[in-house]
Amino acid sequence: MTDQTCAICHYWRSTETVEFANDTPREIGQCRRHAPRIVDAFVGDASDEHLTWQATRFPVTSADDWCGEFEVLGGKAAAFVAAVGRLS
């Protein structure tokens, strides 16, 4: 397991804690590394095409997930924001 988890990534925002059956509660959040993705959203019976539409959502991940684009909190992104703030 890697130490570079979503929970400590600059791009991740916690949204809720979910308790799955026979599991400990898990922190769930959104990855904000890229723009939201277009997804199909359903209301009621998903087989009825009239009850579907497209929406945008950030990818939802667990706090202990990881990816190849990890950026530690306070890393390069924070340095960039500080530098931009000094320029304005």
Residue with more model confidence, 19 or 52: 19
Q: Is the pTM of this model over 0.85?
A: no
Instruction: Note whether residue 1 is domain-resident.
Output: no
What amino acid is encoded at 43 in this protein?
Answer: V
Instruction: Note whether residue 73 is domain-resident.
Output: yes
Cα separation of 82 and 73, whole Å?
A: 14
Domain limits at 36?
Answer: 6-87
End-to-end CA distance of the chain: 41
CA-based angle 35:56:17, to the nearest 5? Answer: 90
Specify the residue for token string 């306070």.
74
Instruction: Note whether residue 69 is domain-resident.
Output: yes
Q: Which DSSP letter does residue 74 get?
A: T
Instruction: Note whether residue 54 is domain-resident.
Output: yes
For residue 58, the model assigns a pLDDT of 93
Mean pLDDT of 10-32: 89
For residue 55, the model assigns a pLDDT of 84
Instruction: Note whether residue 33 is domain-resident.
Output: yes
How many domains is the chain built from?
A: 1
The candidate with the shortest Cα–Cα distance to 8, out of 76, 78, 65, 86, is 65
Confidence band of 34 (pLDDT split at 50, 70, 90): very high
Is the pLDDT at 46 greater than 60, yes or no? no
Instruction: Note whether residue 80 is domain-resident.
Output: yes
Instruction: Note whether residue 41 is domain-resident.
Output: yes
